[in-house]
Chain A
Amino acid sequence: MNEHPSPVRFAARRPPPPIAMLAELTHRCPLACPYCSNPLELSRASEELSTEEWIEVFRQAADLGVLHLHLSGGEPASRRDLVALTRAASGFGLYTNLITSGVGLTEARIIELSEAGLDHLQLSIQGVTPEKADLVGGYAGGYARKIAVAGWTHAAGIPLTVNAVCHKQNMDEIEDMVGLAIELGARRIEIATVQFHGWAERNRTSLMPTRAQVEATTAFVNEARKRLAGTLVIDYVPADHHSRYPKACMGGWGRTGLNVNPAGRVLPCHAAETIPGLTFDTVRETPLAEIWLEGAAFNAYRGDDWMAEPCRSCERKHIDFGGCRCQAMALAGDATATDPVCIRSPLHASLAAAAEADGEAEPGPFVYRGR
């Protein structure tokens, strides 16, 4: 959800092949983050695709033109076949990225992943002290394990990105998080402000940053990017509800990427199931290419034919694609509405006022996922 100045360009053909696929290998996770972005209703372990089924999905993804494969979850290390899946994906030429909390990884497993061809590992951190980090993740000992995982990753030579999810209770420590990322040998940090969907909505007053925090973080990122060029790449997902224009969610619906959930349902974004009326195909029944090209859910908000005003005639519609469909659904009650983050939405003022109020509110105890 950052800028896209140099994406892969393709020949004019609609729809173009997807660049990236997010494989949610499982929804099982030892952590209980209060901003979990997985759907409120999780896939059960008994529904999960088998090893062979996932490998077939990876093969089809590579044939379709996917370049990056993100192995995610839940916690992907909860899958016992993670090394085998990585090896297969790598064998198809896919760029494999493991998105992990680190819990469930051991030194031996990281060496196996490296030998299996893992290209990159993205490790989440919830804070810069064990107390704070483990309070957010809801998992005692999580911080210590993450530090160990970073060390093993570095030793194995696998490039590391630190993923720092930011919110009211840790945003003031952003400089320390960047420092920690450098100390851990990361080449890249993703500073991602919490997105208020699903579980995070239940923790709004505990998580919503203040305007002052948002502005300080943005200023810090701009300065640190220059200062740390050549040391650390900083990707930044700014606070959505404090913005004037919406994010280019997913780089446009059905345009650059797709998600496969643990049960094999193929989604245009990981929250797409919150939009009533959409039907999703599964890789158990339909080839991936057919789903991408012809699936009803993928074609629902492709291009701009579906747009209403003010998006339809807006000069920014090819920049932000009208924002996030799931957020339009959640806040405007209509997935074709302008994302209420946009200043041109009639709902922008009430969204901004709620963000200001929740930002200033005294945080309460976290409502943990699954506890």
Chain B
Amino acid sequence: MSGEGTAPVSGESAAAGGSGVAVTGATVARLARGVRLREDPVRGQTVLLAPERALALDEIAVAIVKALDGDRDLDTIAADFARQFDAPQDQVLADVIAFIREFSDRRLLEIVR
């Protein structure tokens, strides 16, 4: 490729250990440019496409990604989910923060603030 050896598709789990950014309930995030959700009719699923990555997302992950509008903070998003799914808000927030941290470490998100 360009005369240089690379692989067409690869995946890599998030680096264990260090996290680059502090993620809290006040964090506002959105998908980074070059990262997008796509309906995949051939496989009947929703995928997140990023450089050299194609991740099949489950329903919860899709809901989180869609909620990242670059405007609402994670507290607000978690409160919405807690109402919608009738779940304890701290638990939902903890799950959302863990998700955001992992995706941010993988450079899939832009932290707006």
Q: Which residues of A contact B (CB under 8 A)?
A: 1-11, 17, 19-22, 24, 29, 31, 33, 35-38, 63-65, 67-68, 70, 72-76, 93, 95, 97, 99-101, 119-120, 122, 124, 157-159, 161, 163, 165, 187-188, 190, 192, 194-195, 197, 225-233, 235, 237, 250-251, 256-257, 259, 270, 369
B2-17 vs A, Cβ < 8 Å mask (1 yes, 0 no): 1111111111111111
A37-B3 contact, Cβ under 8 Å, with A8-B47, A187-B51 = yes
When distances are taken between beta carbons in the complex, the residues of chain B under 8 Å from A195 are 5
Interface stretch of the complex, out of B37-45, B69-77, B90-98: B37-45
Beta-carbon nearest neighbor of A224 in chain B: B15
Q: Contacts A8-B54, A187-B32 given; indicate if A250 touches B5 (C-beta within 8 A).
A: no
Contact A124 B2 (CB under 8 A): yes
Contact size range, B: 35 or more
How many residue pairs between the two chains, A and B, have CB atoms under 8 Å in the bound complex?
189
Whether the pair A17, B8 counts as a contact (CB closer than 8 A) is no
11 new A-B pairs (CB below 8 Å) besides A188-B52, A259-B8? A5-B11, A7-B54, A67-B49, A68-B9, A73-B1, A95-B49, A159-B33, A159-B35, A229-B20, A230-B107, A235-B52
Interchain nearest-CB distance for A153 vs B (Å): 11
Asked whether B64 is an interface residue with its Cβ less than 8 Å from the other chain, the reply is: no
- Chain B positions within 8 Å of A228 at CB level: 20
When A17-B43, A99-B1 are in contact, do A233 and B106 touch as well, CB less than 8 Å? yes
- The answer to whether A38 touches B3, judged by C-beta atoms less than 8 angstroms apart, is yes
Contact of B21 among A10, A68, A97, A230 (CB under 8 A): A230
State whether B49 touches A237 (Cβ < 8 A). no
CB distance from B4 to the nearest CB of A (A): 5
- The answer to whether A2 touches B7, judged by C-beta atoms less than 8 angstroms apart, is yes
B contacts with A: majority SS? loop
Given the contacts A187-B32, A229-B105, A230-B105, A7 and B11 also touching, CB distance less than 8 Å:
yes
A8/B6 in contact, CB under 8 A: no
**A8 in contact with B16 given A2-B7, A124-B4 (CB within 8 Å):** no
The reply to whether A64 and B21 contact each other, CB–CB distance below 8 Å, is no
4 smallest CB-CB distances across A and B, nearest first, come from A230-B20, A159-B34, A65-B42, A36-B3
A192 is contacted by which of B5, B8, B9, B51 (Cβ under 8 Å)? B5
Nearest-CB residue, chain A, relative to B34 = A159
**Contact yes or no, B8 A22, CB < 8 A:** yes
